[in-house]
Copies of this chain bind each other. A is one copy, B any other.
């Protein structure tokens, strides 16, 4: 099967799980469910849960076991976007070609919808871990890995560095640290989660970690390049603002040529890490896709 067929197959599973399972998880206050769904069903790429399902399949696991964890990660990602877009943070009006959550529901509801998605992610992780009676310890290890990645040691810590970077120029190393935490940690958690649930061998986990770090970085470098070279209608948000806002990005720090070379190298390192693993074609193609995507 081709890469794009696989992506479709995985993301369909994700969409189906989210659409079927969420209402069952009881969100009795209708307005907040609406606000949560607005961002959750906004046509995101589902990169993180797609990666989880791909690794699960590669390791011969049961996708039904991994899906709740994969989707919980997508919920955490979605909450972070809602809070990031708020006026007190990036103050963004558009996301994925639509008005941001607070533009539609107001700031207070957007704040609570973000809180609600983060909390719901943990309700899902705890429920899924509780239900797998014979694999609770591995599920708990995976859930804890996700929690660490989402927290102050990971994504939230990266957001703090990002916020402080508004006041001064970051060094190249600080920029890498910021992205390894802000976006990299959750991408890595998505890739490691199935390995932890399926109790993969240590060398497999290590290879996947290396792969994850490099595609995480590649993903961000490409984002920075798209801000300069992308089509804002395809990307779904206004572009060309990084240089104007004096923002520290791979392009503003390295220049476009060196940024592209860094992107190429990141993809190369990612591929190197997994190319000797069985059935790693999808992961290899994903690395290439991340560098070539136009949105």
By a beta-carbon cutoff of 8 Å, the part of chain A in contact with chain B is: 26-29, 31-33, 36, 79, 83, 86, 88-89, 106-109, 111-112, 114-116, 118-120, 122-123, 125-127, 129-130, 133, 136-137, 140-141, 143-144, 147-148, 150-153, 156-157, 159-161, 163-164
Contacts and interface: CB of A to CB of B under 8 A. Distances in A.
Given A33-B152, A120-B152, A152-B116, A108 B89 contact: yes
Given A136-B137, A147-B123, A151-B120, A156 B112 contact: yes
A152 B28 contact: yes
B151 A119 contact: yes
Nearest to A142: B126
Contacts of A31: 160, 164
Contact of A160 (B112, B120, B129): B112
Contacts of A143: 126
Nearest to A36: B152
A150 B133 CA distance: 24
A4 B168 CA distance: 51
What are the 10 tightest A-B residue pairs by CB atom distance, in nearest-first order? Answer: A88-B107, A126-B144, A119-B151, A29-B160, A130-B140, A27-B152, A123-B147, A122-B122, A29-B157, A116-B152
